[in-house]
Structure 1
Amino acid sequence: MSNKKKLLIIGGTGYLGQHLLQSFSESRKPLDLSIAFTHHSSPPPQLLLRSLPNATAFQVDLQTGQGFDSITHTFGQPDVVINCAALSIPRVCETNPSVAMSVNIPSSLVTWLSSFTESNTLLIHLSTDQVYEGTKSFYKEDNETFPVNVYGKSKVAAEEYISTNWSNFVILRSSIIFGPQTISPVTKSLPIQWMDSVLGKGQETEFFHDEYRCPVYVKDVVNIIQILTDRCFSDGKKMGLILNVGGPDRLSRVQMAETVARVRGYNTSLIKPVSASSIDRGVKSPSDISMDISKMIQTLDFKPTCFEDGVKLTIDSMT
């Protein structure tokens, strides 16, 4: 009987999903780990498929659950599922609340996992710092969740659904994720690359000075998930954890841009501080959702990358 473990990444063609696929494929021998991923678009990027020949792709619709049966028949029950799929643009969620709820609450995924005789799969679910209201600094995991927009509300509902309906889970409340581009470039704007682009062209650009986040380096998120996966593979104990996943620095967009300018040698006078309240983005945004990450550091014995070092690593990947 094979001891080969099975890992499934939901939303494997997205930004974090591709970084996870690449890391797990490079760090594990194919004999030790079977890797599969889902995509909603059809077909997945050829560049990604060519780069990861040992990963199996499945088309799945999270709203209907269509496609999960194919995974059952072809791949079987995964030992670990990492759910990266989400409708994550707050403005889009605000205009399509029913779609946001149906995609972001993983009811079809949990229903599928429940179809297996042994309900021991570890579900690692990506949530967001936007579950917090944003009226103070350094939120802890046990602080009340009080989101100010539909995106945050859909993520709180997802957390509640998982914790009620699945016993073996880790919920990761992630801040802004930044880092290098993916194997198959994603279409969404990446924060450091965008800042580098506008400042590198000498364009005066407005940045918010009064919204605070704890941006986290993408490879830190990958490493955190690998630590959790290894724990599951080694001892199989059920977890039931909620962790803030942010970087060690509480920063405004102005401070982020100033760091990029400093690393690249750009003129910081191009950075024009403005208040977040001065611009209508079509959705309410929390002011300060910086997070206390001490529980993550202690639980996982993990030291996150500071923002400036993450920026340097990101810039290095672009040259």
Structure 2
Amino acid sequence: MEKKTKVVVVGGTGYLGQHLLQAFAEDRYDVAFTHHSCPLPGLLLDAFPHFPSFHVDLKTGLGFHSISHHFGQRLSGLKSTICFQPDVVVNCAALSVPRVCEQDPDSALSINVPSSLVNWLSSSFQTKHKTLLIHLSTDQVYEGVKSFYKEEDETLAVNVYGKSKVAAELLIRDKCQNFAILRSSIIFGPQTLSPLPKNLPVQWMDSVLQKGDTVDFFHDEYRCPIYVTDIVIIILRLIDRWVLSDDKQMRLVLNAGGPDRLSRVQMAEVVAQVRGHDLSLIKHVSASSVDRGVVSPADISMDITKLIQTLDISPSSFKDGVRLTLQSESRSHILS
């Protein structure tokens, strides 16, 4: 029997976390996931009945040792305590709304800098077997004063969210033997199995333009939005590379963005073109004209050459991703 890859998804109830759980549903993975909110949504439990879930507090680390012991027992089929060591941990958990981070910097640092997770990985396992940590960082580690940042460029975040993510990267580089850090841009795509309360970027643009009123969009703030399926594929390829490697050595930092440098205006224009909305509804405004309660970097577009060459992947264009997203939403409405 082929040995299954043991994976723990930290933050499995979030947007990327849920899309990852769907990808891990095939039989070659043994998967557990963590959550902080309670109770767990019934839709999520019904969709993944074989994936054990663990309540974990990232601030204190309470809950991580339950994974070591209870998931280990489940995998071994034994009643005696066995310490479970994952092959891969994917950390999707974060306080990711920049304004909220600005208002509560202590929480942003205690959640976004994964000290408790790193301590669990470094202190719980005495075997020679190694664990790969795949950590989701952000494009907001960059200052935002030029186009197409490369991984080796200096990280000079301009807000608390970005600074907390820079601190997380430094911790992981210092304390972890094996890691892959993905500096993700805006992630967009279909809604999750258990719908999230927050607005999803493409769906929100579609809904506000559909109303027929003019809407303000920034024309001078640039990002490289990435389709969620591409992020999932990146993570799966990193896991495959890790599992198949003999030496189990990985220390990677990758820009994880899409191929297009776009302003919010340009994103909205693509959504309008795909859906047939009136382009004149898109009002061009400067990001500096709005007080969002947080400093936002102007241009954190990223060079993704290293990502493409390392993993042999070609992320979807924003237009293709928008089409796939809206097609998925249409199918969901028909089925419901």
TM-score for the superposition, normalised by structure 1: 0.97
- The equivalent residue for 2:289 is 278
- The equivalent residue for 2:67 is 71
Which amino acid is 2:120 matched to? W
- The equivalent residue for 1:201 is 211
2:107 aligned to which of 88, 95, 99: 99
- RMSD across aligned C-alpha pairs, in angstroms? 1.1
Q: Distance in 2 between matches of 1:305 and 1:271?
A: 24
- The equivalent residue for 1:42 is 38
Question: What do the CA deviations read for 1:255-287 (whole angstroms, capped 9, x no partner)?
Answer: 000000000000000000000000000000000
1:259 aligned to which of 261, 270, 274: 270
Return 287-296 or 235-244, whichever deviates more.
235-244
Q: Distance in 1 between matches of 2:105 and 2:265?
A: 30
Return 82-91 or 111-120, whichever deviates more.
111-120
- The equivalent residue for 2:88 is 80
1:222 aligned to which of 232, 238, 256: 232
1:177 counterpart = 2:173: no
Q: Distance in 2 between matches of 1:2 and 1:215?
A: 37
- The equivalent residue for 2:80 is none
Q: Mapping of 1:11-30 within 5 angstroms?
A: 11-25=11-25, 28-29=26-27
- The equivalent residue for 1:90 is 98
Query: What is the aligned residue count?
Result: 315
SS in 2 for 1:55: coil
Provide the identity percentage.
Answer: 66
Q: Distance in 2 between matches of 1:33 and 1:227?
A: 14
- The equivalent residue for 1:138 is 148
- The equivalent residue for 1:315 is 326
CA drift at 1:5: 2.0
- The equivalent residue for 1:112 is 120
CA drift at 1:3: 2.7
Q: Distance in 2 between matches of 1:219 and 1:131?
A: 23
Q: Distance in 2 between matches of 1:233 and 1:172?
A: 18
1:300 counterpart = 2:311: yes
Q: Distance in 2 between matches of 1:186 and 1:234?
A: 35
- The equivalent residue for 1:61 is 57
Q: Mapping of 1:229-244 within 5 angstroms?
A: 229-235=239-245, 237-244=248-255
CA drift at 1:232: 1.3
SS in 1 for 2:137: strand
1:155 aligned to which of 151, 165, 175: 165
Structure 1 residue runs of 4 or more that deviate by more than 4 Å after TM superposition: none
Q: Distance in 2 between matches of 1:127 and 1:178?
A: 16
Q: Distance in 2 between matches of 1:194 and 1:227?
A: 30
- The equivalent residue for 1:268 is 279
CA drift at 1:2: 8.1
CA drift at 1:43: 1.9
TM-score for the superposition, normalised by structure 2: 0.92
> Which runs of 5 or more structure 1 residues have no equivalent in the other structure?
none
Which amino acid is 2:89 matched to? V
> Which runs of 5 or more structure 2 residues have no equivalent in the other structure?
72-83, 331-336
